[in-house]
Amino acid sequence: MARTLIEARPDGWLYAGKLSDGRWAIGYHTLPQDAVRLRACEAQQAAAIASAPYLSACLGALAWEGPMVTRDARGLTATMSSGPGWFAVGDAVLAFDPIAGQGLFNALRTALAAAEAIITARTPDATAYAAELARVTAIYSERRQALYRSEERWPEQTFWRQQRAPLA
């Protein structure tokens, strides 16, 4: 199987993607306190996968390799997208929630937009760049919220309650 798998659970969502060498990379998007708990205990990492019925049925028995890495993967928007002599691009200007699957595209798109702004104007057009980012941010926020709200099984669970709220 060569596709990426995603499964929602009461305290987050998991994904598994096959690497070119045949191993699976597995991610668990959850609350910070649950990530800390999982990182501390290998048995709980295996249990977290086992608790996802569709994923574990697709993947079968797994042999764990390497340490678990924990990262803050929240979406973020920079308060300033450019200034005298600089433009922020990629995650530095707009980091998406991984559910969006837009981070790599955004890194390339904003790098091109910043380069165009620098090349085409004697004074870099920071206003047009900021306006494009605002437009992308608005579309992303709306789609992200709609996606999280489409999962209706655990509205009272902290993870889902937080994700379903509008972005601050």
Ligand X SMILES: Cc1cc2nc3c(=O)[nH]c(=O)nc-3n(C[C@H](O)[C@H](O)[C@H](O)COP(=O)(O)OP(=O)(O)OC[C@H]3O[C@@H](n4cnc5c(N)ncnc54)[C@H](O)[C@@H]3O)c2cc1C
Q: Can residue 40 be called a binding residue for ligand X (CB under 6 A)?
A: no
| Contact residues for 84 (Cβ-Cβ < 8 A; gap 6+) | none
Question: Smallest gap, in angstroms, from Cβ of residue 35 to ligand X?
Answer: 11
Question: Smallest gap, in angstroms, from Cβ of residue 27 to ligand X?
Answer: 5
Contact code string over 107-126 relative to ligand X, x by CB under 6 A: x-------------------
The stretches of the chain forming alpha helices (DSSP H) are: 32-40, 42-50, 53-59, 103-120, 126-149, 158-164
Choose, by CB under 6 A, the member of 59, 62, 77, 91 that binds ligand X.
91
Which tokens go with 31?
A: 């609350």
Q: Can residue 70 be called a binding residue for ligand X (CB under 6 A)?
A: no
Q: Can residue 3 be called a binding residue for ligand X (CB under 6 A)?
A: no
**Closest C-alpha to 91, from 83, 1, 99, 81:** 81
Which residues make up the interface to ligand X (CB under 6 A)?
A: 27, 71, 73, 90-92, 98, 101-105, 107
